[in-house]
A and B are shown apart, each in its own frame.
Chain A
Amino acid sequence: MTLPAIRRVSGTALPLPGDDVDTDRIIPARFLVSVTFEGLGAHAFEDDRKAAGTKGKLHPFDDPRYSDAGILLVNRNFGCGSSREHAPQALARRGIKAVVGESFSEIFFGNAVAIGLPCLTLPREAVARLQSLAEGAPKSVLSVDLEAGTLVAEGTTFPFSIPAHAREAFLSGNWDGTSMLLERLAEVRAVAARLPYVAGFRVE
């Protein structure tokens, strides 16, 4: 099944500074007690938001200036920890259409690709510039062009990096890859037949 290609994403930006933001923070485990992903958007960063509130601060996800933001700006190793796909699901259901950061945890990155949420990598200085832009001018629109590999903000063009397979998957509409994996089931069976443990190390 080919899905709609994802070539461009644009929107205002939501700055979420900090390294090593783990998936327990993105969506606490108690919200995983469910057989669907429904309703997760409302609970994204729920505990961090409450903690900020008790200190008289406003968490970016509660800041009305960012309520319509589509592009999340993060720092290093975003999405580390638990493999829960609920994390990118919660972000996507909150309206996030792309995540731009310094680096991502591998499992989070793979989960995000699989649900059509591009994660783009920019150098530290560029992310810092974009975060301060979003803080100072929250109405500024960022435009991501996956084909060109660029992000444009306030007339400045930032080249980003994204693994070739992910870029290709978004551009070709193959980001939900199961159909592709099912194309050659006979080859899969052939590989299985060559692995001695599949037959319990018994020989005919």
Chain B
Amino acid sequence: MPETLFSKVWNRHAVRRLPTGQTQLFVGLHLVHEVTSPQAFEMLRARGWTVPFPSRTVATVDHIVPTASLARPFADERAEEMLTSLQRNCRDFGVPLHDLGSFEQGIVHVIGPELGLTQPGMTIACGDSHTSTHGAFGALAFGIGTSQVRDVLASQTLALDPLKVRRLDVTGALQPGVYAKDVILAVIRRLGVKGGVGYAYEYGGEAVSKMSMEERMTLCNMSIEGGARAGYVNPDATTFRYLSGRPAAPSGAAWDRAVTWWSSMASDEGARYDDRVALDASALEPHVTWGINPGQSVGVSGRVPKAEDEAPEARAQVAEALDYMGFSGGETISGTRIDVAFIGSCTNGRLSDLREAGRVVKGKKVAPHVKALVVPGSNAVRAAAEKEGLDAIFREAGFEWRGAGCSMCLAMNPDRLEGRQVCASSSNRNFKGRQGSPTGRTLLMSPAMVAAAALAGEVADVRPLLGGAR
């Protein structure tokens, strides 16, 4: 019987049915960072447990990294304690660590793919909801909490219930200036922030087939914002081309065996899905969020909704969002004044993201009232961008060029909004207070749109600035 990738990967990793009725699932790759792991390692110590598969575990530091200066000790004593604790835990339990200062350090969801650790047909877990990113390779990747981090450290397995699978057919081709970020914002706008609860999203169709791996990562990254714990794309020639030659990827005869196995994990023709949704990519324009969850977005030529136009049930929530964001409802999203422009994060902090934003800002200047920063997703991204001269393009335009980390996506480091500042951001969440100021406001958009907003000092359509096709 034809099967989905989800069921193939699930079945090959199932250890047994637990007495509670859940499945015990082997985790092929466990990614660890400093925020959600210290309590887990402490629990292992308390019970005398070890890590049975340290070579299937990889750690790095990303959330707390102060991207302006990496000098130790950090100014924030508690952040310093988190890093020293991660270093000690990795040493004590034999877990490889890509430490601060190493070339391999970066956001965990950027370095996993970069190093070739993330591969098709794997199960992947990490104490971070954006673990869904790794689904871009045709892996089943789950975000987990600290108690489950403890479970995976101690047993290399998770107790899980299977998910249903919803196939998202993204038909047609994206117009220039419209990106994977716009596709996922449109998906979440249509299906809602809870539309994916209980599902894994399988993304396919012409637009997805044509996407680069980095674009597919952006798409899968925000599955969780639509409520879907996992999202994936079936592995294909694009996937294999990306993996070829990466440090942890197989080579020689092993490479050929790998490609055969990886190909066999893709969903079969005629596989049954629990639900199917189609979206026409060619009709999409750049998207911008106006509210306080990632489902509250509008095309750049559109208007912020009015509470009274909404269905009675949705009215209160829209009114709450408008009030927080300072919109009265009915205004065009284009022209919304911004104070800060942030390019980075596990959603959009990769080389192609910086290239697209760089195309927009080259030879131009950031509006005088805007603080603009670029935070590469990893040291490798930073180095590759510098080799191409992107750092100079951004600096000359008036952007700050920073070290690698999560930075202002969630502001666990010193990069924070102040007061009610409005930030045009290439990150993934526009929740109240998300970017570090309890009253700060976030407008999510693609990196190219952030670049356009930085130049104009307000939300602006990037398409006229791009000229020519990509």
Give the interface of A toward B (CB within 8 A). 1, 18-20, 22, 24-25, 28-30, 32-37, 46-48, 50-51, 76-77, 80-85, 88, 103, 105-107, 110-111, 114-115, 163-166, 168-169, 172, 174, 176-178, 180-182, 184-185, 187-189, 191-192, 194-198, 200-203
Contacts and interface: CB of A to CB of B under 8 A. Distances in A.
B125 to A, nearest CB: 10
Interface residues of B, number: 81
A114 B148 contact: yes
Contacts of A82: 129, 410, 429
A110 B148 CA distance: 8
A194 B15 CA distance: 11
User: Which of B47, B122, B434 has its CB near the most chain A CB atoms (within 10 A)?
Assistant: B434
Contacts of A107: 129, 143-145, 224, 229
Contacts, number: 217
Interface string B16-39: 101111101010100000011011
Contacts of A198: 28, 56
A196 B378 CA distance: 29
A30 B229 contact: no
8 contacts: A24-B429, A51-B438, A83-B127, A85-B145, A106-B198, A110-B144, A188-B52, A197-B261
Given A105-B227, A110-B148, A181-B159, A25 B433 contact: yes
Nearest to A182: B155
A84 B145 contact: yes
B403 interface: no
Interface of B: 12-16, 18-22, 24, 26, 28, 35-36, 38-39, 42-43, 47, 49, 52-53, 56, 63-64, 76, 78-79, 81-82, 85, 119, 121-122, 127-129, 143-148, 150-151, 154-159, 161, 193-194, 197-198, 224-225, 227, 229, 250, 254-255, 257-258, 261, 293, 317, 320, 410-412, 429, 431-434, 436, 438-439
Given A165-B22, A200-B250, A194 B12 contact: yes
B208 to A, nearest CB: 24
Given A33-B82, A165-B20, A185-B155, 13 more contacts: A19-B317, A24-B410, A29-B412, A51-B438, A80-B193, A106-B229, A114-B148, A165-B18, A165-B21, A168-B21, A192-B156, A198-B28, A203-B257
